[in-house]
Amino acid sequence: MTDSKYGKYIVPKKANSYGDFEKKTEVQVFSFNAHDEAPHYFESFLMQEDMPTVAGNGNEMLYNPEDTWLGKVTKYTGLKYFAYPHIHPFTEIFYFISLDPDNPDSLGGEIDLWIGEGAEAEKYTLTKPTVIHMESNIKHLPIRHHGGKMPFLQLIVANTKEYSRVSSHRNPQYPNGIDFVENSPRWKPEPLTPEQEAKRDFAHLVHELDPKKDFLRPPRAHKGKSRTVMHYTWMNHPDIRQRVDVTLVTGGDIAFGNGDFDIFPPLPNKSSVPATLSFLSLDPHTDDLGATVELWMGEGAEAEKHIITKTTTVIIPPATVAYPIYVRDDFRHPFLISWILEAPLFGGKLIEEFPPDFEHVSEKWIKMKAKEREEMLNQAAE
């Protein structure tokens, strides 16, 4: 689009990987490095079935993007970096998301995640959609995925624009009771004591979700074509900063923000805070989205239509109208739409004007507006 006002905010996936573990599963990593106006940092990984994986055990080599200072150090010195248990100076929220539309309360396997330091670390085993609030300066990892019978998504959203960590790489302090540590010959596994197994100092950080109760807006109007697979706001946790909303699209010829009030957002909208709107491929071998998506940005007649066919993150600046979205009928395989808003609840403004070229306005909306016009005419006649 030659006269595009919003084209600079359409950011395709960068061709880099953060490690051998992620190289097979990374969907999108987004931060200030990808775009100067990135409102937050997030990373998403597709965890595949029958693929045992471990991160944070010293076997996960980190490949930093070449445009970062660590990437330049790696390129010019040959130094290699491995992932170990670590802490961050910011809050990091882990979302474990089911991708099975018929079985949304199961991750299809087990995820073991350790929180805490060394011998005092606690193991948490997850089997259902779960959100973990990893508060700043709490040591975490390793994390292990095993016994998977279906894919699931691991989404991490951090209260920062630039990822950083303090790692125990010089003298890794691993939890007791594990036997899969690499690159640390000095560390020897020890069994957990009954007291350590019973400890749950960090249980308040782990929130298991019930899709029927916690995902408050089932996609009634689009049954079989989309499903809410994560909806997490201040209503779930008082300390949440971002509103995270993830939709699994399972069929084409479907619209969002087209005046259908069974789906949120029901209309084009804008907010006083920034957001990211991501379209994430679920094909582990390609960035191809599996569909052609039309996204409108801008208000009414000034709106621009952008075509998205690959994994892409769109920055929505403050006071910028986004939506409607239309997924064309050339649908090939499921994909995700992730909407991360820099506010714990949606407090924006719904816009009742659609772009003139948008042809998929809900019949429900058309009938409602026609009834309003009829009532106004009747009142004027009286």
Taking CA atoms, 153 is separated from 128, 145, 269, 345, in Å, by 12, 12, 27, 23
Residue 20 is predicted with a pLDDT of: 47
Q: Considering the domain boundaries, does residue 325 fall inside one?
A: yes
* Final residue belonging to a domain, choices 161, 179, 214: 214
176 lies in the same domain as 243: no
139 lies in the same domain as 269: no
196 lies in the same domain as 338: no
83 lies in the same domain as 226: no
228 lies in the same domain as 169: no
Q: Which domain holds residue 190?
A: 13-214
Q: Considering the domain boundaries, does residue 256 fall inside one?
A: yes
**Which tens digit of pLDDT belongs to each residue from 176-232?**
878 777 666 666 777 888 888 888 999 999 999 999 888 866 555 455 589 999 999
CB within 8 A of 382, min separation 6: which ones?
none
Region of 116 on the Ramachandran plot (φ > 0 left; ψ -120 to 50 alpha; else beta)? left
* Final residue belonging to a domain, choices 197, 214, 231: 214
Residue 157 is predicted with a pLDDT of: 97
276 lies in the same domain as 333: yes
Instruction: Give the N- to C-terminal CA distance of the chain in Å, as an integer.
Output: 49
* Final residue belonging to a domain, choices 214, 246, 279: 214
State the total domains in the chain.
2
Residue 167 is predicted with a pLDDT of: 75
Q: Considering the domain boundaries, does residue 243 fall inside one?
A: yes
301 lies in the same domain as 278: yes
Q: Considering the domain boundaries, does residue 1 fall inside one?
A: no
- The pair of structure tokens assigned to 297 is 């940005």
259 lies in the same domain as 196: no
Q: Considering the domain boundaries, does residue 5 fall inside one?
A: no
283 lies in the same domain as 162: no
Q: Which residues of the chain have pLDDT under 50?
A: 2, 20, 22, 221
Q: Considering the domain boundaries, does residue 354 fall inside one?
A: yes
**Which tens digit of pLDDT belongs to each residue from 329-341?**
999 999 999 999 9
356 lies in the same domain as 305: yes
185 lies in the same domain as 233: no
pTM equals: 0.91
CA atoms within 13 A on the CB side of 288: 9
98 lies in the same domain as 239: no
Residue 169 is predicted with a pLDDT of: 61
**Domain CATH for 110:** 2.60.120.10
